[in-house]
Amino acid sequence: MASAQRATGPDKRRMILDAAVVVFAKKGFHACRVSDIADEANVAYGLVYHYFRSKDEVLDTLFLERWNVLLEVITEIDRQQLPARDKLYAIASFIVDSYRHDPDLMKVIIVEVTRAANSFGRTHLTTIREAYALIAGIVEKAQADGSFRCAVTPGFAALAFYGAIEQVLTGWIFDMLPRGEEEFDEAKAFIVETICGGLDADRASARAV
């Protein structure tokens, strides 16, 4: 009846990926079994191996699908004629909205890939670094045109900026921070305000290094 009932070919592949997101988010990649994915997708165990070479490849696919979108979006934001601060806001906004739209997927990507230095993080290191490099590029240009100070290196600023975003998402993932439409928008503003504006009331002590 519904297309889900008669789904075939690539549709089933998609169903497996979506099911994997749910299962990985709930139990974690290592703790869940391939049969959990198959069950969640209402599909036979073996079909997972028809579409993917291994359990790992399912996670790889999820990560790459999403991270490539992120890289494109950052590139596109950077192409626009905007103050660096607004560009950073747009990036924070996109990532926070990604979480708002699909918290499970973002949880899986952050917990199982981005922060997993012993497994998938290492595998996708090059891809992950591309995002940092793009952000660093934005900072570098802003420092060149004088809108950002030169107190820290662009690469370092990118790390701190992305680190702050990820820490906030982690706060939501761990249920440490309240989640809601207001909180999401507030977070975007706070991240940019902290990194760009700083905490100091006066900046007498701030000198270029």
Decide: is 144 part of the binding site for a second copy (CB under 8 A).
no
Phi/psi class of residue 42: alpha, beta or left (left: φ > 0; alpha: ψ in -120 to 50)? left
Distance between CA 127 and CA 134 in Å, rounded? 11
Cα three-residue angle 190-192-195, rounded to 5 degrees:
105
Torsion angle (degrees, nearest 10) of CA 102, 106, 107, 110? 180
Q: Exactly one of 4, 14, 28, 33 binds DNA (CB under 7 A); which one?
A: 33
Q: Exactly one of 18, 22, 49, 190 binds DNA (CB under 7 A); which one?
A: 49
Specify the residue, 9 or 146, whose C-beta has the smaller distance to DNA: 9
Tokens representing 123 are 């595998």
Decide: is 54 part of the binding site for DNA (CB under 7 A).
yes
Task: Tell me the closest approach of the beta carbon of residue 32 to a second copy, in angstroms.
Answer: 9
Decide: is 46 part of the binding site for DNA (CB under 7 A).
yes
Nearest to 74 by CA among 173, 170, 165, 193: 165
Cα three-residue angle 161-164-167, rounded to 5 degrees:
150
Please answer whether residues 51 and 13 qualify as being in contact, where contact means their C-beta atoms are separated by less than 8 angstroms. Answer: yes
Q: Exactly one of 32, 74, 92, 157 binds DNA (CB under 7 A); which one?
A: 32
Query: According to CB under 8 A, which residues from 61 to 120 bind a second copy?
Result: 84-85, 107, 111, 115-119
Decide: is 191 part of the binding site for a second copy (CB under 8 A).
yes
Residues that bind a second copy (CB under 8 A): 27-31, 84-85, 107, 111, 115-119, 121-122, 125, 129, 132, 139, 142, 146-149, 151-153, 156-157, 159-160, 162-164, 166-168, 170-171, 173-174, 176-177, 186-187, 189-191, 193-201, 203, 205-206, 209
